[in-house]
Chains A and B, each alone.
Chain A
Amino acid sequence: MQQKTSQNPASSHMILIQGGIVIDPGHVNGRADLLIQYGKIVEVGFPLTTPINPDSSVTILEAKGWIVAPGLVDLHCHLREPGFEYKETIGTGAASAVAGGFTSVCCMPNTQPVNDNASITKFMLAKGQEAGKARIFPIGAITRKSEGEELADIGELVEAGCVAISDDGRPVMNSLVMRRALEYAKAFGIPVVDHCEDLHLTDGGCMNEGIVSTELGMPGIPDASEEVMVARNLALADLTGVHVHLAHLSTARSVELVRHAKGQGLPVSAEVCPHHFSITEEAVRCYNSNAKMNPPLRTDEDVHALKQGLVDGTIDVIATDHAPHAIQEKQLEFDTAPFGIVGFETALPLTLQLVHDGVLSLEQALDKLTRAPAQLFHLPVGNLQPGSHADVVVLDPNEEWVVDPTQFHSKSQNTPFGGWTVKGKVKMTLVGGRIVYDAR
């Protein structure tokens, strides 16, 4: 009876997560207990002051030696549904998300059909509800079919539940269309997200352009391909005053451009993906198509600059760019295989490596995965303050484990981190006070 009611968020049943270290970035960092009722946070502290009625049922979750944090928030993922269910569905994607500690994920509109209208948005939200794992926050298209020409029905998309707009993967090349999209978005108070890439400069490239691409005879993607669009977007943010969020920065100069723009007070934010600060173009040498993503893996110098950007706040958030592809697609030759890797289930340990290496504090690292992303996209999640959704991740920052892609909850296994020994493991994930992932 007690077990049953504990899974019903609407019940008066309480959940007590006790004995752990709570890190709610900006609010709490220390030994604390967490009390949950009606799917919301009731209190966080030690000792708790809320009287627990001895008659009421309480589920006690022991978190001694572990970190209790807000469920992670991912501003950038691809859930592939509708259209590419063989790669991932919203159901498998949401399950993969919570296995990685993510309780809220923003999914890009490059589905088939493209999420450029309310019916697709509503479909995605309904599928998310049905899955009952991570919360799904769709990102709508900027232009119809993401073709870069006519604006999508942005007002209707926002009304249906889109939290931002982007033509991720097929970036808007026409700067006038981009300007108009920013101006139009102003009325709805949503950020415009850009995958910064000049497709003309990329010219069919499939890895970083540099000494490795020259040695391998592989068409390269120059740094400039990203940087010219970062610069364009910064200029347009200045022109329109609209919040531009720059997806997955990968180069040192991009970081420098954003740092400068932030210094001038421009309304910009930026994200980085774990793979871009964890590995370099060297990973491509054995023609491993799981090291193929866009933007491509760059150099040591870029990795260093990205870490610096995280440290000084130039880069606001860490996002996964979770991009599942089927095995048969990644079995193609490197230049013909699709771009992208799965990210939900490796993002946390790769980020925690920055903590183990002394680059970020644990609170800083978690901030970039919780409070900061929620704030940027105005999502009602990402903290453990009383009254908030009880979206919680319990993790052991020091537990080592070996990444085995065949054990992923995602439908796809395309990761360059298979076989890696990583440090930091999700023990339990709660969404709205419900345990949706349990690896205790």
Chain B
Amino acid sequence: MGLQRKDLLTIAALTADEIQLILTTAESLKEVGGRDIKKVPALRGKTVVNLFFEPSTRTRTSFELAAKRLSADVINFSPSTSSIVKGETLIDTARNIESMQADIIVLRHSSPGAAENLARAVRSSVINAGDGWHEHPTQALLDVFTIKEKKGRVEGLTVVIVGDVAHSRVARSNILALTKLGAEVRVVAPPTMLPLFIEQFGVTVFYHLDEALIGADVIIMLRLQRERLGQALLPSIREYAKLFCLTPERLKLAKPEAIVMHPGPLNRGVEISPSVADSAAAVILDQVTNGVSVRMALMYLLSGSGERSTLNE
């Protein structure tokens, strides 16, 4: 049983059933990571290429580990963005890689739509590991996996996403995944960090963290990117921390059993206080562990798909 698609490009294109299939598969593969010999032969002889045009350590490592645990051969390819500026298009780079008989290409790129364009140009399966501000589907999948693991369900939960939604692919993919699975999603940020018409995604918009946290089951903190400071989106880190830092006091506004998530890397003392990050409520390291399982599940499902269909036909 596989996913009936060639690529995994967006959460937007997935049905709730497809998301459930990925989560169920990840659950059964999670056990591999607990073994003494952490390897299954599912992708033996397959080649996975990590094509990362943006610097990334944890996502790339997570994909690499996932592929290796499935016994695939893994190549990491990180062309500097400047070589692209020099003239080679993404498609040319990718066709080169395809010519080396890559079965799966994992792409991270700063341009929205890069993964979709790549998927159209190559026969290999493409997994989107983040395209600009657009989507980061595997992050959303590992987040919903973690929520389901900790809470037993996603449907009916109140999930609060805190921070720069406008410039966040994590937020977009999470909003889509969570609403598809029936969660009640709130977003809270300074209005400068919320994109136009975000409410049309079926979320409730808040500007004040304390109000948004009341009754929350899950809190997803987004990383504050310091380069936003020069763009008049924020007065200062100091003011952001004052208004949006998740502190133990604020955490008390949520439900007693609420969990706290963060895609990393953390800005301790900015969006999350150390005492919350290190508390029992924080499931940040579980997210990292689950990321490997979810990515294993995806590669397994994509490579095992008998009849392939391309997204957006």
Report whether chain A binds chain B. yes
- B184 proximal to A (CB < 8 A): no
From A210, A217, A218, A219, residue with most partner B Cβ within 10 Å: A217
Beta-carbon contact of A331 and B89 below 8 Å? yes
Q: Mark A311-334, 1 if CB is under 8 A from B, else 0.
A: 000000000000000001001111
Q: Mark A205-226, 1 if CB is under 8 A from B, else 0.
A: 0000111011111111000000
Q: Give the size range of A's interface with the partner.
A: 20 to 34
* A210–B198 alpha-carbon span in the complex (Å): 9
Beta-carbon contact of B12 and A215 below 8 Å? yes
Beta-carbon contact of A333 and B111 below 8 Å? yes
Residue of B nearest to A287 (CB): B113
- B108 proximal to A (CB < 8 A): no
- A183 proximal to B (CB < 8 A): no
> Which residues of chain A are within 8 angstroms of B198 by Cβ–Cβ distance?
214
> Which residues of chain B are within 8 angstroms of A363 by Cβ–Cβ distance?
none
| Minimum Cβ distance to chain A for residue B140 (Å) | 13
* A256–B169 alpha-carbon span in the complex (Å): 36
From B91, B117, B132, contact of A217 by CB (8 A): B132
Beta-carbon contact of A217 and B169 below 8 Å? yes
- B264 proximal to A (CB < 8 A): no
Beta-carbon contact of B114 and A333 below 8 Å? yes
> Which residues of chain A are within 8 angstroms of B135 by Cβ–Cβ distance?
217
From A209, A219, A333, contact of B109 by CB (8 A): A333
Beta-carbon contact of A218 and B197 below 8 Å? no
> Which residues of chain A are within 8 angstroms of B134 by Cβ–Cβ distance?
216-218
- B172 proximal to A (CB < 8 A): yes
Residue of A nearest to B195 (CB): A214
- B83 proximal to A (CB < 8 A): no
Main SS class of interface, A: loop
Beta-carbon contact of A217 and B112 below 8 Å? yes
- B145 proximal to A (CB < 8 A): no
- B217 proximal to A (CB < 8 A): no
* A101–B171 alpha-carbon span in the complex (Å): 50
- B28 proximal to A (CB < 8 A): no
> Which residues of chain B are within 8 angstroms of A331 by Cβ–Cβ distance?
89, 91
- A203 proximal to B (CB < 8 A): yes
| Minimum Cβ distance to chain B for residue A144 (Å) | 28
Q: Mark B187-218, 1 if CB is under 8 A from A, else 0.
A: 00000000111101100000000000000000
From B111, B113, B132, B196, contact of A214 by CB (8 A): B196
Beta-carbon contact of B197 and A210 below 8 Å? yes
* A282–B112 alpha-carbon span in the complex (Å): 15
* A335–B198 alpha-carbon span in the complex (Å): 21
- B63 proximal to A (CB < 8 A): no
Known A-B contacts A286-B312, A332-B89; A214 and B197 likewise in contact (beta carbons under 8 Å): yes
Beta-carbon contact of B196 and A213 below 8 Å? yes
Beta-carbon contact of B131 and A217 below 8 Å? yes
Residues of A188-244 at the interface with B, using a CB-CB cut-off of 8 Å, are 203, 209-211, 213-220
* A213–B87 alpha-carbon span in the complex (Å): 26
Beta-carbon contact of B132 and A335 below 8 Å? yes
> Which residues of chain A are within 8 angstroms of B89 by Cβ–Cβ distance?
328, 331-332
From A211, A216, A217, A328, contact of B197 by CB (8 A): A211
Taking Cβ atoms with an 8 Å cutoff, the residues of B that contact A are: 12, 87, 89-91, 109-114, 116-117, 131-135, 169, 172, 195-198, 200-201, 231, 312
Given A214-B196, A217-B112, A217-B172; 11 other pairs, CB 8 A cutoff: A209-B196, A210-B196, A213-B196, A214-B195, A214-B198, A216-B134, A217-B131, A218-B132, A218-B134, A286-B116, A335-B111
Q: Could you jot down 19 A-B contacts, CB within 8 Å?
A: A213-B196, A215-B12, A216-B112, A217-B134, A217-B135, A217-B172, A218-B113, A218-B134, A219-B133, A287-B112, A287-B113, A331-B89, A331-B91, A332-B89, A333-B90, A333-B111, A334-B111, A334-B112, A335-B132
Report, nearest first, the 3 A-B pairs whose CB atoms are least far apart: A217-B134, A287-B113, A333-B111
